[in-house]
Chains A and B, each alone.
Chain A
């Protein structure tokens, strides 16, 4: 029976503070959505590339002869060393035709069970007069099927277009032969009987070691490489591992940059979210003083009472987390898809453990609960008598500016009152300014990354992150300011009603509240510039991408402008709430 009533008051708590609940849901959705979305990208790329590696049976090494061909003795040594592993012997050379380099690989694509190529159109070569060509990318060129190509004086007919796992990169593919030049074409012809062998592709049997160029795989590669070089003599052979494959290596290192960005941003999103929820819950506890006192007199324990509010926050956080799940997946998918602009990406791996989502949700849920519990306990611990007493307004005090008489005396009350409020309520001032700085820095970081990504051709995936960061940071910024304005209005209910009774007009009253919001937002937005500078320098160093110099000058102004724009929108949206303040109930009761 008791629990039933307890449940009812808890339900009504949700109903009464629906706007606050929605604010919590929204801010958690934004934070978890973006953070888990970005964080998950690296994981998905590594999963996809690991699967792809196994599926296509990608070679772990290419052993290249430096003397044009391997001797029979060398081939014997290689075969013995990798007896259980898969080997592919081939002859490869590069031609410079009118300044365009063509790499020719002689191997039988029909039978290739190492580096299995994907046939994009046409068919694999069936006679020695046919060639298949690697598909065109931003840098590689290709031929039409049926076209006749002359290589080294021999004519070939192009029969198909393929994608080899060794060329997943869409940017420059460096030549092995011509120093500091890039390939224009890669073609595949059938090997002839008299051909020597100068390239050996090795696919290790143990495919589990790979795990997306992990550390243990790196160690294994290094070990095998140094063994080979000793056994076959360094002056005769060069050994290339996947760490020297532009496609694989740059894809993984970009995925790791994305990961770092995600980790750095998690701190900011979390900090701002915490501040918003803290200020929101503090205000809620203030409004609930009477209710709390009543429950205390009925004999509910402090713990039970505080838990009602913990439940409130938990519900908001979990609902937000739930909505964030598809949003985070969407974010991951968009960034993953953006990688397609630079790499021939394997299909998006749909099923995965959602590690980052679970981590972010857990961190946010635990910190939210702790925050609510301790904020709540501070209030709930008071004696009912204390709680029922009218909470005395913070006493007015002179502020430092008042000593400068020639400025102070010229100000009208609205400004005097605003300045005193801004400077007196220090904790509110700092919380507001810090959360505005936080969201301005995030917007700035998104814009800064966008500037850098835009100047670099191969940064299309960073571009996608930049755009996503801008959108989510802007949303966060809007939520922060909306929430602070909303809290400010409910805290100042009585003052608003007093001004109404004195006959102040709507615009004068809204101005009284909003002036404060604008001043605090402005301070936060301006401070966001130096903090943004420091943060970006840190981010650029960390991910080894971009620089402060690449950030457009207008970005420095745009980020604070975005913040002020949201301050303006929030005040516009909350104008009605002020105007609708009920003078009677606000003035004639003790809150």
Chain B
């Protein structure tokens, strides 16, 4: 069995206008150590998919299995624990606590995990060894995103979920962040999933999942992914 398995996952929302199907019959399998890109235009359902994987939302039908555990059957309380120990999130807008320093922001996530990595060491690994004591407002966008990545990986999660991680960054910084995410994937052997609408990123992924209108439009397996430095957009 695969590390992460989705079986016929559906997600519907009830709105005033009726039932809105956000995801319909989604099935795929991902392996540990893979760098996966979920690609699609805005409104396609990629973020909904990421939310389901990350335990921020629950499926309407279908199953999600992570490392043999049935995520789709967890209660609200169990989902909090699932996010606590199994998932690392990276967002477009970083979402750091403004009144905690870089190091404290990382510690905020490790303090509640059992198998956490050293926060200081992790910050050094993402290249912020000098800026432990800076508050988010004293860091550039790229640096804040690094803290947010450090916060996600220091808890030693099973999957790293990234939602448009370069959306708020300039081109060069964005590339450096993607490099970092790719390195994390390959050096620690974690499953890293990046949601993006940037078509160019398909070339760097081991696996690309195309989403369109809430459905899978195709799954590509990339035998020889290109390093990010060689990709232009």
Residue numbers of A with Cβ under 8 A of B are 390, 392-397, 412-413, 416-417, 420-421, 424, 494-495, 497-498, 500-506, 508, 583-584, 587-588, 590
Contacts and interface: CB of A to CB of B under 8 A. Distances in A.
Given A416-B100, A424-B99, A395 B112 contact: no
Contact of B84 (A396, A502, A590): A502
A506 B91 CA distance: 22
A417 B91 contact: no
Interface of B: 47, 51, 54, 56-57, 77, 80-85, 87, 89, 91-93, 95-101, 104, 107-109, 111-112, 135-138, 151, 163
B95 A497 contact: yes
Most chain A beta-carbon contacts within 10 A, residue among B81, B107, B108: B108
Contacts of B112: 502-504, 508
B139 to A, nearest CB: 10
A501 B95 contact: yes
Contacts, number: 87
A590 B135 contact: no
A479 B107 CA distance: 36
A497 B98 CA distance: 13
B99 A417 contact: yes
B98 A394 contact: yes
Consensus secondary structure, chain A interface: helix
Contacts of A495: 97-98
A489 to B, nearest CB: 16
Contact of A395 (B97, B98, B104): B98
18 contacts: A390-B93, A393-B136, A395-B137, A396-B101, A397-B135, A413-B104, A416-B100, A417-B97, A417-B99, A417-B100, A501-B95, A502-B84, A502-B108, A503-B81, A503-B87, A504-B112, A587-B95, A588-B47
Contact of A587 (B80, B84, B91): B91
A584 B56 contact: yes
Contacts of B82: 503
Contacts of A394: 98, 137
Residue of B95, B109, B111, B137 with most chain A CB atoms under a 10 A cut-off: B95
Contact of A413 (B84, B100, B137): B100
B111 A412 contact: yes
Nearest to A390: B93
Contact of B80 (A417, A504, A584): A504
B138 A395 contact: yes
B84 A583 contact: no
Nearest to B111: A413
Nearest to A423: B99
B51 A584 contact: yes
B99 A502 contact: no
